């Protein structure tokens, strides 16, 4: 899909696979036109899509997948490094719906498999709880580990919360550096309090804050300020999925961040960390699952 050409080429080269082409344009009446130019009958097709700002992107995706299916594609694998709508995973107030499960149900109807990276799973335990198609989740940890190893001297990994502790701890272990995590207490939609454990022993380490999504950046900015006032060097902020704009980048820098970088699940000026390897591995694994003989 538009904007994902680079990851599509990485996948095509590594798997290896052919690169398909299509004509996807918007008619004057603002409907989407789809024509698949490549032969897809009896083939497994990986459909690569960057799904930030999802409302306007999901309908074209649905039309492309439906067209592939009508042209006889064997399996349609959605490769969506960023999976949207996972945050509405609970009825927080009466009258709300479970958008996460509605979207997952819909996608499960037009795709045969899903590859994603670091899905934002809090109250949903596994993607298979909401998707009825095989899903493969790539981890960004190895890519982040590699980047930090190359770019940050004496890092200290700061994870977002207890729930993601295994993730940030894994990066710290791989780098053989200290790893800590924040305690976050949420008061409503916007107000969040965080506490950082007492770390006088580490103040000559550069804090590397890691989170799956950087969106408003409020919590991360708060953590940056706490670390600065505790005497730490300017932190590096890393988000897997960059959903933020310039205002958030400015906020983080104003709070004292040295750099704000992201993985390339979504195209963004802060992209610095390549997810090609884990996505290729996850796609390979999913294709094996789909190609395995199925029970009747």
In the complex, the residues that contact its own copies under the rule CB under 8 A are 22-23, 26, 28-37, 52-56, 58-60, 62-64, 66-67, 70-71, 84-85, 87-88, 93, 95-99, 102-103, 106, 109, 213, 215-216, 243
Closest distance of CB 271 from its own copies, Å: 17
DSSP 8-class letter at 41:
T
Scan for tokens 């997810």, then name that residue. Answer: 275
Q: How far is the CB of 74 from its own copies (least distance, A)?
A: 17
Least spacing, CB of residue 127 vs its own copies, in Å: 17
Which of 191, 294 has the CB closer to its own copies?
191
Q: How far is the CB of 212 from its own copies (least distance, A)?
A: 12
Judged by beta carbon, residue 21 or residue 291, the one nearer its own copies is 21
CA distance 75 to 69: 8
Q: Which stretches of 3-54 are DSSP H helices?
A: 5-14
- Which CB sits closer to its own copies, 23 or 150? 23
Residue 34 beta carbon to its own copies: minimum distance, rounded to whole angstroms: 6
Between residues 102 and 183, which has the closer beta carbon with respect to its own copies? Answer: 102
Contact 156/123 with Cβ under 8 angstroms?
A: no
Would you give the DSSP letter of residue 128? G
Q: Nearest distance from residue 192's CB to its own copies, in Å?
A: 14
Nearer to its own copies, 17 or 98 (CB): 98
Residue 14 or 22 with smaller CB distance to its own copies:
22
Asked if 202 and 230 count as a contact pair (C-beta separation under 8 A), the reply is no
Q: Report which DSSP code applies to 3.
A: T
**Helix (H), strand (E) at residue 75:** strand 75-79
Measure the CA–CA gap between 104 and 75, rounded to whole angstroms.
17
Least distance between its own copies and beta carbon 87 (Å): 7
Q: What are phi and psi of 87, to 5 degrees?
A: -80, -25
User: Distance between CA 202 and CA 150 in Å, rounded?
Assistant: 20
Name the minimum Å distance from CB 60 to its own copies. Answer: 6
Name every residue whose Cβ is closer than 8 Å to that of residue 14 and which is 6 or more positions away in sequence: 276, 280
Cα separation of 72 and 233, whole Å?
57
Please, which residue, 190 or 294, has the CB nearer to its own copies? 190
Nearer to its own copies, 72 or 197 (CB): 72
Could you give the CA distance from residue 87 to residue 267 in angstroms, rounded to a whole number?
21
**Secondary structure (DSSP) of 147-191:** HHHHH-SSEEEEES-GGGHHHHHHHHHHHTS-EEE-EEEEETTTE
């Amino acid at each position: 899909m538009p904007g994902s050409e680079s990851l599509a080429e990485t996948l095509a080269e590594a798997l290896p696979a052919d690169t398909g082409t299509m004509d996807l344009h918007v008619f004057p009446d603002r409907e989407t036109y789809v024509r698949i130019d490549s032969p897809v009958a009896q083939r497994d097709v990986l459909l690569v899509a960057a799904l930030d700002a999802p409302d306007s992107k999901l309908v074209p995706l649905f039309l492309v997948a439906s067209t592939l299916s009508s042209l006889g594609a064997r399996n349609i694998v959605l490769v969506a490094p960023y999976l949207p709508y996972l945050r509405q995973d609970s009825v927080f107030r009466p009258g709300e719906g479970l958008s996460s499960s509605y979207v997952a149900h819909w996608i499960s109807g037009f795709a045969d498999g899903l590859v994603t990276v670091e899905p934002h799973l809090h109250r949903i335990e596994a993607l298979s709880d909401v998707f009825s198609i095989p899903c493969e989740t790539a981890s960004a940890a190895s890519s982040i580990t590699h980047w930090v190893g190359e770019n940050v001297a004496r890092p200290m990994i700061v994870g977002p919360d207890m729930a993601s502790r295994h993730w940030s701890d894994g990066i710290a272990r791989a780098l053989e550096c200290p790893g800590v995590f924040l305690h976050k207490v949420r008061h409503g939609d916007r107000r969040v309090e965080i506490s950082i454990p007492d770390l006088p022993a580490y103040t000559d380490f550069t804090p590397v804050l890691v989170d799956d999504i950087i969106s408003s950046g409020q919590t991360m900015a708060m953590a940056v300020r706490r670390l600065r006032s505790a005497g730490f060097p300017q932190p590096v902020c890393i988000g897997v999925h960059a959903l933020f704009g310039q205002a958030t980048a400015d906020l983080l820098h104003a709070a004292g961040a040295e750099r704000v970088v992201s993985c390339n699940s979504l195209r963004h000026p802060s992209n610095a960390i390549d997810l090609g390897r884990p996505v290729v591995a996850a796609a390979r694994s999913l294709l094996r699952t789909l190609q395995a003989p199925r029970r009747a």
